[in-house]
């Protein structure tokens, strides 16, 4: 395998770039080696339902007065990737974008990792204009000691609602997504503004487009990890007290999702939480006005290419932070997985060290 050239994150024109003029990469090789040797990569996914609370001083898992996004990162174990969904930042709001980066790195100690951040924010003038454009949106915080290993970050051209970020490094692709919530609300063509079905039909189209993206990567010899709020609970065990089955289109959406991402004719992927925890009941979304655990669904998932999990056992752990404090200001809790890249023959850990 050829070595990866050290270079900044390559950004597609559709990706919202960091507000800072230049990104300075970490160059301390000893620090980098200690951070990923053994080569364990932690990925956390979290629908935060807006980021304004992270820009304040009184939010943390422990309700400490010194709480912040920085404290959340510390509590989560300094993940290499923190994939956020529903950030609700307007594309023109550079102050909030820059403020979130500052919050992630506030009062960082010399021995602690720091973070860069990239965004995909809505650019659909017909379907994502509510609240001054502060809808949807995804962001990925990437540890700077791993940042140079990313060869590409982009969003697909078909996503205009700020829902998808694609991160590539070596032969792995991480897809951070805030998937469509199927409803009977009308959808308009992002090109003409003409009526184009409802958001149930849009959800099914997104399923197909995301699957095609995954299969394209896998045909090229890459392994894929999908993370995010997928806005669907897979089975009865994933909803409490009941699984949403009305209107009936939700049943069809669920069937389509399972066939495309877990069926042999689709991705044939692995639901990593179920792989490690079997029939254990844990949930990621909790109804905001109900007591924690009384009305909830597992709609945030991590799906991995089967070879990554079953052939090489490179996914070594995964879980859901299912407790009331973990939600903080959101109605979702974080979930995570840990990858051991040394177990996967497609990776050369030394190249990651060189890139840094």
Start-to-end CA distance of the chain, whole Å, equals 17
Q: 340 pairs with which residues across the strands? A: 40
pLDDT of residue 347: 66
Q: What is the mean pLDDT of residues 3-29?
A: 37
Question: What is the band of 116 on the pLDDT scale with cuts at 50, 70, 90?
Answer: very high
Specify the residue for token string 């909030």: 96
Q: Please say if 126 is a catalytic residue.
A: no
In the sheet that holds 335-340, the strands lie side by side as: 115-120, 138-143, 81-85, 40-47, 335-340, 315-320
Residue 200 lies in a domain: yes
Q: Is 317 marked as a binding-site residue?
A: no
| Distance from C-alpha of 133 to C-alpha of 180, rounded to nearest angstrom | 17
Helix or strand run (H / E) with residue 103: helix 94-105
In a domain, 44, yes or no: yes
Give me the pLDDT at residue 58, please.
53
Residue 49 lies in a domain: yes
Neighbours of 97 (CB within 10 A): 24
Measured at the CA of 295, the angle between CA 292 and CA 301, to 5 degrees, comes to 90
How many independent structural domains does the chain possess? 1
Higher-pLDDT residue of 96, 61:
96
122-133: per-residue pLDDT in tens?
A: 999 999 888 888
Q: Is 145 a catalytic residue?
A: no
Q: How far apart are CA 207 and CA 253, in angstroms?
A: 9
Average pLDDT over residues 310-314: 94
Strand order in the sheet with 239-240: 239-240, 296-297, 285-286
pLDDT at 132: 83
Q: Find out whether 229 is annotated in a ligand binding site.
A: yes
Is 355 a member of any domain?
A: no
Please write the tens of the pLDDT for every residue from 216-265: 999 999 999 999 999 999 999 999 999 999 999 999 999 999 999 999 99
Q: Is residue 169 part of a domain?
A: yes
CB 256 within 8 A of CB 204: yes
With cut-offs at 50, 70 and 90, classify the pLDDT of residue 353: very low
The catalytic residue among 167, 250, 286, 332 is 332
Phi, psi of 116 (to 5 degrees): -105, 165
Catalytic member of 147, 178, 187, 283? 178
Q: Characterize the bridge pairing of strands 164-169 and 195-198.
A: unpaired
Looking up residue 270, the CATH number of its domain turns out to be 3.60.10.10
Considering only CA atoms, which of 199, 45, 224 is closest in space to residue 128?
Answer: 199
Report if residue 230 sits inside a domain: yes
Contact partners, residue 170, CB within 8 Å, separation at least 6: 1, 4, 149, 151, 346, 347, 348, 351, 352
pLDDT at 351: 52
Return all residues near 132 (Cβ < 8 A) that are at least 6 apart: 90
**Residue 231 assigned ligand-binding role:** yes
- Annotated active-site residue in 145, 229, 238, 256: 229
- The answer to whether position 4 is within a domain reads no
Q: How confident is the model at residue 204 (pLDDT cuts 50, 70, 90)?
A: very high
319 has binding-site annotation? no
The CA-atom distances, in angstroms, between 90 and each of 134, 255, 292 are 5, 33, 30
CA quadruple 49, 54, 57, 63: dihedral positive or negative? positive
DSSP strand pairing (81-85 vs 239-240): unpaired
Q: How many residues does the chain have?
A: 356
Half-sphere exposure for 147 (CA within 13 Å, toward CB): 24
CA nearest to 36, candidates 300, 281, 337, 340: 340
Q: String of b and e for 323-338 (b: at least 16 CB within 10 Å)? A: eeebbbebbbbbbbbb
- Residue 262 belongs to domain spanning: 40-343
Q: In this model, does residue 18 exceed pLDDT 60?
A: no
Query: Is 332 among the annotated ligand-binding positions?
Result: yes
Is there a catalytic annotation at residue 256?
no
Does 157 count as an annotated binding residue?
no
pLDDT confidence band for 281 (50 / 70 / 90): very high
Cβ pair 344, 308 in contact under 8 A = yes
């Amino acid at each position: 395998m050829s070595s990866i050239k050290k270079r900044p994150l390559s950004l597609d024109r559709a990706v919202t770039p960091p507000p800072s003029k230049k990104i300075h990469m970490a160059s301390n090789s000893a620090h980098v080696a200690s951070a990923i040797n053994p080569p364990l990569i932690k990925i956390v996914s979290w629908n935060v339902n807006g980021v304004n609370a992270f820009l304040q001083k009184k939010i943390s898992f422990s309700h400490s007065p010194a709480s912040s996004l920085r404290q959340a990162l510390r509590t989560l174990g300094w993940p290499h990737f923190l994939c956020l969904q529903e950030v609700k930042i307007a594309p023109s709001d550079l102050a909030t974008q820059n403020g979130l980066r500052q919050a992630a790195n506030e009062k960082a100690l010399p021995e602690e990792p720091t973070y860069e951040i990239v965004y995909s924010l809505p650019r659909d003038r017909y379907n994502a204009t509510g609240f001054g454009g502060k809808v949807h949106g995804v962001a990925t915080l990437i540890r700077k000691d791993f940042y140079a290993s990313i060869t590409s970050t982009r969003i697909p051209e078909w996503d205009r609602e700020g829902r998808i970020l694609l991160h590539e490094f070596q032969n792995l692709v991480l897809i951070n997504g805030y998937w469509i919530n199927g409803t009977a609300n009308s959808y308009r063509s992002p090109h003409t503004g003409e009526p184009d079905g409802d958001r149930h039909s849009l959800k099914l189209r997104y399923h197909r487009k995301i699957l095609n993206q995954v299969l394209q990567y896998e045909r090229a010899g890459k392994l894929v990890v999908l993370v995010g709020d997928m806005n669907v609970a897979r089975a009865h065990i994933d909803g409490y007290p009941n699984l949403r089955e009305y209107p009936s289109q939700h049943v069809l959406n669920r069937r389509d999702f399972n066939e495309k991402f877990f069926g042999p004719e689709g991705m044939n992927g692995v639901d990593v939480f179920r792989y490690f925890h079997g029939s254990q009941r844990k949930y990621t979304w909790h109804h905001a006005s109900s007591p924690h655990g009384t009305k909830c669904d597992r709609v945030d998932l991590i799906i991995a290419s089967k070879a990554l999990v079953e052939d090489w056992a490179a996914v070594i752990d995964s879980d859901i932070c299912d407790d009331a404090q973990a939600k903080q200001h959101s109605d979702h809790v974080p979930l995570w997985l840990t990858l051991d890249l040394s177990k996967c023959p497609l990776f050369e850990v030394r190249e990651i060290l060189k890139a840094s």
